[in-house]
Amino acid sequence: MRAFIASSIGVTCAAALVLPLAAPAGAAPDTPAHPATAGSVPAEASEPAGVPGSTQSLAMAPLASPSVRATGAPSAAAAEQGLPERDVQPFSLVGVVWDDVNTELHGTAQVRTRATGTGQWSDWQDLETHNAEHSADVGTAERDSAGARGSTAPLWVGDSDGVEVRVRPETPGPGEAAEVVPLPAGLHLELVDPGKDPQQVPGTEPAETPATDPLESPATGAAGADRAGLLDATVLPALSRAETDEAAGFAPAAKPYIGPRPRIITRKGWGADEKLRESGFAYTKTVKAAFIHHSATGNNYKCSQAPSVLRGIYRYHVKSSGWRDIGYNFAVDKCGNIYEGRAGGVTKAVMGAHTLGFNTNTMGIAVLGTFSKSNPPAAAVNAVSKLTAWKLGLFGANPKGKVTLTSGGSNKYKKGKKVKLNVISGHRDGFATECPGARLYKKLGTARTSSAKLQGR
């Protein structure tokens, strides 16, 4: 997360953004967010009653490089920080955070983990040091709150009970200044246990509980009504084109360009505990565009584990990064299942924290996985097409079209710049980043064409 530039936030829910953000749920008022942890197995942080899962936060310490240990001579590598191998309480998702949300991590972060049961250690795995690119906009209460922290992307590692981490400063290249940029202050390793799956597992029969479709209309009014239907549903069933138009409040004679609503697993369906997040909602005026992301959490998960991956990301965004809720508006797993992300209503223009500088009047969709060198499954790309055809259609947006957005400030576009983008864009279109990965980015043309066809264009 980085120090650029303020941003306007458009129209928002006053109750959510006028009041200061609360401290992360479960944090004691006088307890530092990331106290140093002594001993081989740290104690769990306190959690609100009934909230599943836990977060272990371990303070890092300087590590001596092999050359320093052998010769005693100082080197730039001596500035690296981390933790040696240690036993920890069970976790499944890992990330690194630091104190200042406006400070960049110029370097690499790697972890090794030990699988619970087998005792086998993994190879070193990279954490994507995405810094600010997935974040609330500067100038919003969410971004500027005292609890907001810089963070890497989290990595899903599966059930583990041992860990080792190293964070190394970036080495200057040929012709660059010799000075090594120091690592950010307050580096901590975050180990997340997402908790057990809800008894009703999404995607299995007869676990689906249909929502009351009239409550899903954008014209319904208050978000409370919209959420009332969702809170009692694990899955919103797919609707036909005619049923979608009817649910959206269009007369039979009207022919809006709205794709049929796809099946959506709700927050209750993937086990999101609503006591963990901020209680209010934040909205913008409309949804003009969709930014596609990869979660960078790795591809080593089964689709049956996707709810656990989401709960891990949710907890990491809220407890570790200090956000109000999970950052993405929707998520898609590699089997093509679609999940409700940030709370506030799936038909609403909910402000997310996914694309720094372009969170206003857009939505963020994260495909669970890492697609820099791996191809995204066709089912996932197809799900993106279905979701965008429906959600963009509710707001009159053409998936094959262009849209002009005003940058709130990023490392690619300064604040206030008018930027013409595809209605379905990759994260890298608004921010200088590898996200959503080269392989997924190449599939966005297919997604645009399929999405528009589903809208009847």
Per 3-state DSSP, the chain is made up of helix, strand and coil in percentages (nearest 5) of 20, 20, 55
Least confident of 16-20, 56-60, 378-382: 16-20
- List pLDDT tens digits, range 327-367: 999 999 999 999 999 999 999 999 999 988 899 999 999 99
The pLDDT score that the predictor gives to residue 256 is: 86
Bridge partners of residue 171, in order along the sequence: none
What 3-state DSSP class applies to 293?
A: strand
> What pLDDT shows up at residue 66?
54
- Mean pLDDT to the nearest integer, 22-28: 35
Residue 394: the pLDDT is 96
**Looking at the chain, how many residues does it have?**
457
| Strand ranges of the sheet holding 264-265, from the earlier edge strand across to the other edge | 235-236, 264-265, 338-340, 330-332, 362-367, 289-294, 424-426
Q: Which of 90, 95, 91 is nearest to 60 (CA)?
A: 95
Kindly report the backbone phi and psi dihedral angles of residue 134, in degrees, each rounded to the nearest multiple of 5, phi listed first: -105, 100
pLDDT, residue 213, reads 33
Strand pairing of 362-367 and 289-294? parallel
In 170-238, where do the E strands start and end? Answer: 188-193, 235-236
Q: Is 301 exposed, middle or buried (0-12, 13-18, 19+ CB in 10 A)?
A: buried
Give the bridge partners for 299, in sequence order: none
- DSSP letter at 175 equals T
What's the CA gap between 150 and 186, in Å, rounded?
A: 10
Q: Are 150 and 100 in contact (CB under 8 A)?
A: yes
Do the Cβ atoms of 365 and 331 come closer than 8 Å? yes
The per-residue pLDDT for 222 is: 33
User: Whole-angstrom Cα distance, residue 407 to residue 416?
Assistant: 5
Q: Quick check: 3 pLDDT over 70?
A: no
Mean pLDDT for 55-84 is 72
Which is higher by pLDDT, 159 or 204? 159
Residue 109, exposed/middle/buried by CB under 10 A (0-12, 13-18, 19+)?
A: buried
Dist CA 350 CA 22 (whole Å): 19
Domains of the chain (ranges, CATH numbers): 14-193 (no CATH), 213-455 (3.40.80.10)
For residue 43, pLDDT over 90 is answered with no
**Phi, psi (degrees; rounded to nearest 5) at 340:** -65, 135
Q: Is the pLDDT of residue 269 over 50?
A: yes
Which residue's entry shows tokens 């890497």?
152
- Helix then strand count (H, E) for the chain reads 10, 17
Stretch 1-21: mean pLDDT: 32
The tens digit of pLDDT for each residue in 283-298 reads 999 999 999 999 999 9
* Rounded Cα distance, 178 and 172, in Å: 6
Q: What is the pLDDT of residue 36?
A: 39
CB-based contacts of 251: which residues, under 8 Å, 6+ apart? Answer: none
Do 408 and 415 meet the contact criterion of CB atoms below 8 Å apart? yes
Average pLDDT of the residues of the chain: 80
| Range with top average pLDDT, 71-85, 184-198, 238-252 | 184-198
Q: What pLDDT, on a 0 to 100 scale, did the predictor assign at position 130? A: 67
Distance from C-alpha of 100 to C-alpha of 105, rounded to nearest angstrom? 10
- pLDDT at residue 74 greater than cutoff 50: no
How big is the CA angle at 272 (ends 151 and 267), to the nearest 5 degrees? 110
Nearest alpha-carbon partner for 427 in 300, 326, 344, 327: 327
Burial of 221 (0-12, 13-18, 19+ CB in 10 A): exposed
Greatest mean pLDDT among 28-32, 79-83, 217-221 lies in 79-83
The three-class DSSP label of residue 178 is coil
Q: How far is CA 190 from the centre of its chain?
A: 15
Task: Report pLDDT for 139.
Answer: 66
pTM: 0.82
SS3 261: coil
Say if CB 173 and CB 74 are below 8 A apart.
no
Give the model's pLDDT for residue 176. 63
